[in-house]
Chain A
Amino acid sequence: MTNINGKTYAMNAITPMNAFYTPILKLIFFILGHVKPLQADLIQLSFIHFARWVVVKRHQFPRLSEKQPQEQLHYDYLLFFSNFNGSWNQYIDAFADVLSNGLNLIWRWSARYPGARPVTDFKRYIGLVQFDTDYYYTAYPRATTNDVKAAHRVSAALEEFARNSKDMAPAEFGGAYLRLVTQVQMDLGATGIGPVGA
């Protein structure tokens, strides 16, 4: 199952777009990139490490030599690459449940896109436009995005505690240590083996 490494899934999708719509989509992405609150939902879903959309215009496919045949395309193409935690179904269900407007805004310009709700048609469409990963690497396969964020919070808390408690007497240290524990207590879940991708 080469789409998965550890707890992360690599999804690739390609959809054709009528070239007339491409500037509209690019504008939407421009706004998304510059108006941070619009990204809040994506951040809150917290199971995406990295995701990107790449518009490849029909004349933009790289041509490195005269011997390479020229592409003759009618459509522009929207490529989507996501690195997320959880199963394929969980990922799509979550997006369809809470981010369907955002999804529709991005993919409505793609040919025959059915809309993110109801989800069954949407999953069928994704199945059609998704293509499999041949090789997937992650520097931290045992960690989900939640784990990574938690680890950084714990690290920072420990550093600060180490600095502040350096010269404390035991009694004072005890109190400070308890406060450290309550500070990191939400972030100590073990990393390790994850569930089988269903």
Chain B
Amino acid sequence: MPNQSGNVYGLTVLSPILNGADGGVSHDCAIRDYLAKLPRDQRSPFAKVSSTHLARLVVMEDVVFVGTPAREEHLQSKYLVFETNFDGDLDTYLTRLARDAAEEVHAVWQHCVGYPGVEDPAAFAAYMKKCQIETTFFFAAVNNKTVQQTLRALKVQSGLAHFIESNQGKSAGEIQAAFRGFLEKVRHAPEPPAGEDEGHPHG
């Protein structure tokens, strides 16, 4: 099943974008403008559909002319490329998109041909499947851990590093006592939010 690697599903969707313009702005530009302003961190619609590991949206304007003797040719429509890597099965994911990220999904896909709206998740899922292209070869470095397991593990990793550092040089008894407290904290830590970024040069 080439769309799948372990527990991760690699979905590739090409949605044809409506030609022409709506109120002076062409549909592909409208999508681009909207995406430029859409938050990419824990406020992202894909953070809400929290089974998403990594996802991208790309307006593909045309195919490429690589130079003679290759031929020049062009697409008749532009396509919205949606490439996503997520946990679980396809139907659940598409339903969650329609339900948990309804506003953002609508804002983007309303510019695409045949888009049925998000009110009926089943209709939306069927529409997306019509636009789905089978992934020919899918590689996933880590394919057996969910997003939540990964976020938790990252927190545990930094927590343990900090614990080791703070308790360096202490007696076995002291470390043992501290460890109990540490374990409690780890066990009861809240679910880390997906997409959270502590700030990087790109903002």
Contact = CB atoms under 8 A, between A and B. Distances in A.
B27 to A, nearest CB: 12
Interface string A1-39: 110111110101011100000000110010011000001
B85 A50 contact: yes
The interface residues of chain A, by DSSP majority, are classed as mixed
B76 A49 contact: no
Nearest to A168: B176
Given A12-B58, A75-B73, A137-B55, A50 B141 contact: yes
Contacts of A70: 76
Contact of A39 (B58, B67, B139): B139
Contacts of A39: 139
Interface string B166-203: 00000111011001000100100000001111111110
Interface string B134-147: 11111111100101
Interface in A121-179: 125, 128-129, 131-143, 145, 147-152, 154-155, 158, 162, 165, 168, 170-171, 173-174, 177
Contact of B157 (A56, A128, A151): A151
B54 A151 contact: no
Contact of B200 (A48, A111, A194): A194
Contacts of B83: 12, 52, 81
A143 B19 CA distance: 39
Interface residues of B, number: 90
A64 B131 contact: yes
A174 B85 contact: no
B160 A154 contact: yes
Interface residues of A, number: 97
B146 to A, nearest CB: 10
A151 B145 CA distance: 11
Contacts of A138: 53-54, 195
A158 B172 contact: no
A49 B71 contact: no
Given A61-B75, A142-B197, A55 B136 contact: yes
Contact of A134 (B36, B160, B197): B36
Given A140-B151, A142-B197, A190-B161, 5 more contacts: A64-B113, A64-B131, A67-B113, A136-B55, A138-B54
Interface of A: 1-2, 4-8, 10, 12, 14-16, 25-26, 29, 32-33, 39, 42-43, 46, 48-56, 60-65, 67-75, 77, 79, 81, 83, 110-112, 125, 128-129, 131-143, 145, 147-152, 154-155, 158, 162, 165, 168, 170-171, 173-174, 177, 181, 184, 187-188, 190-194, 196-197
Interface of B: 2, 8, 10, 12, 14-16, 19, 31-32, 35-36, 38, 40-41, 44, 46-47, 50, 52-61, 63-64, 66-67, 70-71, 73, 75-77, 79, 81, 83, 85, 112-114, 127, 130-131, 133-142, 145, 147, 149-154, 156-158, 160-161, 164, 171-173, 175-176, 179, 183, 186, 194-202
